[in-house]
Amino acid sequence: MSSIRIGTRNSRLALAQAEWVSSALASLDVETTIVEITTLGDRIRDAPLGPHLGSSFFTKEIESALLNNDIDVAVHSCKDLATRLPDGLSIVAVPEREDPRDVVVTSGNTPGAVSADSSALDSPFRVGTSSPRRKGILAVLRPNWTVVDQRGNVPTRVAAVDDGHFDGAVLAAAGLSRLGMLDRADLIFDPADLVPAAGQGALALQCRTSDTLVCDKIVLLNHPVSHAAVRAERAVLRKLQAGCQAPVGVHAVLSQLETDAPEDVSVVLHSAVATPQGLIRNELEGNLADPEGLGNAIAEEIASSLGVNTLADTLWAGIPPREEGQ
């Protein structure tokens, strides 16, 4: 077959992710080319993130290119991908997951600000993030911190901290790691406390379902346990009709990782929903034999705790994700 065209955003992190996929495919003697695509999220840089922006803010143009046969595989940060995909597209592979945790980067000029008991800060600590999930959970975890809107790619956000615009920034450990910047993490949150976004730390490799030649190559990069964990997490959002910008964290903590069989992996699925009345936390133990069933079960617990059928019934969680085929 001819060279596989890899579609990606053109940020430094997105290109690093696409280059990783290209290198992995090259090791399998598969030729590739990288196609850079600008998304709405790349064009609108001054608006805070929020559920009102929808669930395809960073992915729609890439998916359109895939549907139009302008690319053959899309490389997404899984946490940015809508839980309901357009007709004809599938997540064919999730490579082995990177560190899913959230971290705080500082300039090093705020001694003690990110100590083990950083919730006990006596002085103000201005930390940047535009994530509704991080904002809502940090309001409870770190009530002494002032959380300020901050958008931009990873290097830009770190530079803003170094330039003194913020005391710190909350970022995904995976993004820092993929850019060789993980040494900048001054605090790494326990994922049971600051619960990561569904799919955080994972890549989603998306193809046209009908393109079996490409799918057969891309599936070779799949890590079954990581893929199953992500399926469970994404099922929670799908059941709740929560877009990827909703103030919801959900993360599968895995054990018995010596196996490659998802059904043999024990899991505790943690969730946190930031509501105007406070934080709603749930957890559920199980295994990855039926990832969607596990995710649906904890979503039902969350909905029951909130007294709603889905988050679309609330005024604070934003619009639901797009329906199939839209």
Catalytic residues: 80
**Residue pair 246/252 in contact by the 8 Å Cβ criterion:** no
Residue 279, H or E segment:
strand 278-287
- Nearest CA to 73 out of 81, 83, 63 is that of 63
Q: In DSSP terms, which residues pair with 204 in a beta bridge?
A: 76
One-letter amino acid identity for 276? P
Q: How many CA atoms lie within 13 A of 115 on its CB side?
A: 10
Q: For residue 309, what are the CA distances in angstroms to 110, 232, 250, 303, 312? A: 44, 19, 18, 6, 8
Distance of alpha carbon 5 from alpha carbon 46, whole angstroms: 31
| Best CA proximity match to 235, nearest among 250, 247, 213 | 250
Q: Give the whole-angstrom CA distance, residue 251 versus residue 140.
A: 18
Q: Could you tell me which residues come within 8 angstroms of residue 161 by beta carbon, excluding any fewer than 6 positions away? A: 105, 106, 107, 128, 167, 168, 169
Identify whether the C-beta of residue 78 lies closer than 8 Å to the C-beta of residue 99. Answer: no
- For residues 250 and 270, the answer to whether their CB atoms sit within 8 Å is yes
| 120: three-class secondary structure by DSSP | helix
Alpha-carbon torsion angle 172, 268, 231, 41, nearest 10: -20
